[in-house]
Amino acid sequence: MQQVGAQGFADAQVVDPRRLPTPFRSGRRALLVAANHAWVLHKGLIVRIAGAVMALLFIVGVFEARDAFVSAGTTVYRFVQGEFAQAGFAIRAIEISGQTLTADRDIITLLTVGTGNSTLTFDAQKAQARLEWLRAVESATVRKVYPNKVIVSIVEKVPVARWRVGDVTWLIDGRGQKIGTDIASYTELPLFIGEGAADDSVAMARALDRHQELKSGLAALSRIGDRRWDLIYRNGLRVQLPEQGVAQALDRLEMYQRDYRLLDRDVTQIDLRVPGLLALRPGELAALQMADSKKKKPKP
């Protein structure tokens, strides 16, 4: 602050403040002053509010113009596709290998979904991921060969058994999952029948692999009450296995087959459900033979 001495008041006059004039301020000037004060005091808040309003207006505008954007994008995409195709990059050949259980039409359908008809715009990675949605496909490889070819290599899951449900026979993999319908080249796989049979089919198939002699002439394995198995042979024989101790029952059955050729005899049913007990139901010829033997047996 500058100090003013007595000399600075040499020309001073005594004035009554009440006589000083009051300047006129227009409404416009008052509004400008108020706006300036508001800007100084609330600058940050005003900026945030303005940004939010602009963002809202932008979103509303984009929403209102969405149809126009989509139409324009589709037009451009089709134009580019057509230009690429005319330039010699149209997909003209699709080579597929490795498929046995998977239909070619299913593979081609998933390859061409949203990918266009040009090798330049074809997305091989997305097409590859879509192919792995198919039941029987373990993995897939998709490659583009310029200018106009796509090569597809399929690795399918390995079927380990067949499962009949109603009138349809499915092939199932090592996890008990359906991977395709039965075809003639897989008739050597064990056939499982009944509701819930697929759940334990893999474990049962592996247990039977230890008893190759029991698999000869085996037509199917039937799931009973979703609790246990019956072995059904082509000659009409049915072997009833227990709910628990299946491995031990198979060992006993293999011993009887090895020592007595039991599975080849005139027997219609073998019951192994009771541990330590073997029950047989003879066939027609065996029943007649047993009746004759009983008649010829001398009375005491």
Question: Which tens digits make up the pLDDT trace of 58-104?
Answer: 676 655 655 544 454 444 444 444 444 444 567 788 899 999 999 98
Separation CA 134–CA 151 (nearest Å)? 18
Verify that 179 and 292 share a domain, yes or no: yes
Q: Is residue 71 part of a domain?
A: no
Verify that 188 and 104 share a domain, yes or no: no
Residue ranges making up the domain that contains 93: 88-156
Q: Is residue 66 part of a domain?
A: no
Verify that 202 and 138 share a domain, yes or no: no
Verify that 172 and 290 share a domain, yes or no: yes
Lowest mean pLDDT among 36-50, 65-79, 125-139, 231-245: 65-79
Which of 156, 171, 192 is the endpoint of a domain? 156
Lowest mean pLDDT among 114-118, 219-223, 263-267: 114-118
CA of 36: how far to CAs of 25, 33, 40, 42, 149, in Å?
Answer: 15, 5, 6, 10, 69
CATH number at residue 145: 3.10.20.310
Which of 139, 156, 173 is the endpoint of a domain? 156
Reported residue count of the chain is 300
Averaged pLDDT for residues 28-55: 64
Best mean pLDDT range from 23-32, 85-94, 108-117: 108-117
Domain count, the chain: 2
According to DSSP, residue 1 is labeled -
Query: What is the Cα 7 distance to its own chain's centre?
Result: 99
H or E segment to which residue 229 belongs: strand 228-233
* Model pTM score: 0.62
Separation CA 71–CA 219 (nearest Å)? 61
